[in-house]
Structure 1
Amino acid sequence: MKNGPFSRREFIKRNSLTGLGAVLAPSVLASVPAPSLPTKPFSSSLNEPLALLGGKPIRAKQWPVWPIWKPETDEKQLLEVIRSGIWSRAGVVTEFEAQWAATVGAKRCLSVVNGTNALIAALAQFDVRGGDEVLVPAYTFIGTVAPVLATGAMPVFVDIDPETFQMDPAKLEARITPRTRAIIPVHILGLPVDMKSILAIAKKHNLVVIEDACQAHLAEINHQKVGTFGDAGCFSFQNSKNLAIGEGGAIVSNNDAFMDRCFSYHNYGNPYGTVSGVIGIGTLMQGTKLRLTEYQAAIGLALLKRLDAETTTRNENAAYLKAKISHLPGIVPYKLYDDVTRAAFHLFPFRFHQEKFKGLSRETFVKALTAEGIPCSKGYAPLNKMPYLDDAFKSKNYRKMYPKEALDFKKYVERNACPQNDRICNEEAVWLTQNMLLGTRQDMDDIANAIEKIYGQADKLLAQK
């Protein structure tokens, strides 16, 4: 690829179906129909002045609104629940749990108030406590790490594979110590982790594996849903998620005794299943109140009916968009591991390389792309360096549970250095949200055209400095 503008004809030629095979993993080609690229004539909009410089944006049309609510199909059960007056946990919540377990292929499901508390409950019921260490990826949301701190354990950060944005198994074992109790692999952005490698390491060191699948509804590895590989899987149904309830979460597992403990924990520690005692003895274990409501479950049941089709649409549009932008200088889309048969695409990520994009900064690129009607963001900041960790380490409980040297924040940051994550967070990552992938092929063309337009006129943005 030349380091300068190229013609629309050359762009289409480079992204023909032949080129498509080179940028998609074989497993993706097997599960996603090969998209046909448009044959529309050259768009003069690429030569229009950049919107950031006062020109007309590539796109003025609204993106698909999220969440999607269809009153004619979605409201019947919800209205029945509201009119019944039975709003706390009852039969509709149980129905939702049964359907979610069946959907992901797990034996049991327990719904809770959110994905964060799903992780807290799971960690607590695998007896992760103060003095333990839990391995977490550096590239994730605070909702992965806050539960570790809530149990009194110490998060230990593992660097990522920049091509996939996921926890790098090759860097995992170096972080394991005698204190290590669990691993939380996160299928971040809705792209599956290399679970085969992580499970092998966990087995070798006798570690609990709790999958954070909060962004990865219906994603699959070898046709098995994520969240069902480890000892437990946790999901989120927060408003932005691919299954949106507003707030909500779930734990899934095939371990009956563990799930009974989770149920008891989410209901104050009262007896349930194998968590039983003498009649009338009362609350048996330490717990809290995490129960989902009936009307939340009714919303979840309504939207679950569309989740599979929406996931297929996201995968098809992601594959199409990836093929359209893969050969653009400085644009490197996500990579899926070879055994991934389906992703969730809660986000569509790509890496931006300033030096190959005519020296334009990521900051300016994001502003220019947004101005063209393509909303985007730079994604996460490094979680392994933030003050919330120092705040926890200064707490009375942490000072009682850990030696002073373990709580030296400066040394902690040095021990938990993740240079690949730093580069992704600070220089390279660009995100598009999942609702955009529910659009049309023309919508995907708008994204690719906007990036191409910015590349072609990057020198004009650079001249503004």
Structure 2
Amino acid sequence: MKNKNTDSSRRKFLKQSSLAGVGAVLTMGMTPSLLAGDLNNAARPAILGGPSAWDKAKWIKWPIWVPETDEKRVLEVLRSGVWSRAGVVNEFEAAWANVNGAKRCLVVNNGTNALIVALNQLDIKGGDEVLVPPYTFISTVQAILMNGAMPVFVDIDPETYQIDPAKIEAKITPRTKAILPVHILGMPADMPRIMEIAKKHNLFVVEDACQAPLTEVNNQKVGTIGNAGCFSFQNSKNIPIGEGGAILSNDVSFMDRCVSFQNLGLPYGTAVGTFNAGSVRIGTKVRITEYQAAIGLAQLQRLDAQTTVREENAKYLKSKIKDIPGIVPYKLYDCATRVSFHLFSFRYKKEDFQGLSRNSFLQALRAE
């Protein structure tokens, strides 16, 4: 049983020693056990031979599923013999639109294609520029390039990690067609200021909300604020279904075009070909399966409660580390009313750890 003062003494150790010993372990080839003998501190970091902060066997495995309910839905699809897009996909789309308060939802086979389809059907093409933060997953930029447009990087706010609205207008040119804010790590961008700039310059806004399901700005779900919002249901995401993605929008005509485009350009609603109502448009095939939708419906049953836990955990962890010199936790914009915290973030300042490199610091964390 660990001493009840282990947590506080470990933080005290961090403040006093600044993990200087870790640098010796990693750069001089010393083993943790050799150095540990020189430290008279039961709360020394695990990389120096101390006990780990947490039993790794107790970490929650992801994704989470409940056999009694989740497997039942998948088996129903299997036994139906209808495995391509059909009624279960329609149900998943309606559910995700309803959860977010959006008029329409289209689910596709991954978040990357959700971004590609959305940009394509806003007529983003060669010669256009799209403003995007450099701190994002590669898919955000690939979606712009796949449509022939040019990504123009707008630096982030170092405290919130989001695209900095104060730097956007300086990057706008006559070729700028859209702004693509990324709600990175599950935290929201400053959407009120971004929308104000977009309206002023007549620009589209496509939200990359792949890491931020249920995150809110002024009590409105991200992904429903701009012209379109894109989500990912990849295995590591907050709604894991293996692979999957979604587009949300309140623009019916735009969504009709997206549905048509992702289904080989076949006519849908107001989206019809040039010659007549039955003619085919340019399109591709990125449809989702009934299996994925069945898993998605099951995962949605847990999402709200899991998001609440994520928020509580993030607030607790922030309160515990905010006073450690060299550790600067995330900052939220005042407009953030709910945060899904796909990941917990902080900045590391090596000057407060006697120059210990970022990689060495990460090694020490992983050892815990």
TM bucket, shorter chain: 0.7 to 0.9
| Equivalent residues of 1:123, 1:148 under 8 A apart | yes
Residues 278, 118 of structure 1: alpha-carbon distance in 2 compared, 3 angstrom cutoff: closer
Q: Deviations over 1:269-294 (max 9, x none)?
A: 00100113699875421100011100
CA RMSD of aligned residues (A): 2.2
**Contact 2:83 2:290 survives alignment (8 Å):** yes
1:51 CA displacement: 2.4
Match of 1:318 in 2: 314
- Is contact 1:243–1:300 with CA below 8 Å preserved after alignment? yes
Other-structure match for 1:230:
226
Q: Within 5 A, what are the aligned runs for 1:287-436?
A: 287-372=283-368
CA deviations on 1:128-150 (whole Å, 9 max, x unpaired) are: 00010001101000010001000
Aligned to 1:175: 171
Instruction: Give the TM-score normalised by the residue count of structure 2.
Output: 0.87
Change in Cα spacing, 1:159 to 1:277, as seen in structure 2 (3 Å) is closer
Q: Which residue of 2 aligns with 1:274?
A: 270
Percent identity over the alignment?
66
Distance 1:46 1:177 in 2: 59
Summarize the Cα distance change of 1:47–1:298 in structure 2 as closer, same or farther, 3 Å threshold. same
Partner Cα distance (2:338, 2:314) in 1: 11
Could you tell me which amino acid in structure 1 is paired with residue 52 of structure 2?
A: P
Q: Distance in 2 between matches of 1:110 and 1:331?
A: 40
Displacement of 1:243 = 0.3
Matches within 5 A, 1:133-282: 133-276=129-272, 282=278
Distance 1:126 1:46, change over 3 A: farther
CA contact (8 A) 1:159 1:171 kept: yes
Letter in 1 for 2:71: E
Cα distance between partner residues in 2 of 1:109 and 1:181:
23
Aligned residue in 2 for 1:111: 107
SS in 1 for 2:124: coil
Q: Is 2:48 the counterpart of 1:53?
A: yes
SS of 2:199's partner is helix
Task: Give me the whole-angstrom Cα distance separating, in 2, the residues matched to 1:321 and 1:274.
Answer: 49
Query: Does structure 2 conserve the Cα–Cα contact (< 8 Å) formed by 1:268 and 1:283?
Result: no
Check whether the contact 2:256–2:269 (CA below 8 A) recurs between aligned residues.
yes
- Give the secondary structure class of the aligned counterpart of 1:167: coil
What is the rounded CA distance, in whole Å, between the counterparts of 1:283 and 1:347 in structure 2?
45
Structure-2 residue corresponding to 1:77: 73
The alpha carbon displacement at 1:223 in A equals 1.0
What letter corresponds to residue 229 of structure 1 in structure 2? I
Residue in 2 aligned with 1:121? 117
- Structure 1 residues not aligned, in runs of 5+: 1-6, 13-44, 373-465
Aligned AA (1:172): I
Deviation of 1:52 after TM superposition, in Å, equals 1.8
C-alpha displacement of 1:61: 3.1
Partners of 2:213 and 2:274 in 1: CA distance: 40
**Stretches of 4+ aligned residues off by more than 4 angstroms:** 9-12, 277-283
User: Deviation of residue 72 (structure 1)?
Assistant: 1.2
Q: 2:241, 2:296 within 8 Å by CA — same for their partners in 1?
A: yes
Distance change in 2, residues 1:280/1:224 (3 Å):
closer
Q: 2: distance between equivalents of 1:9 and 1:368?
A: 17
> Counterpart amino acid of 2:180?
I
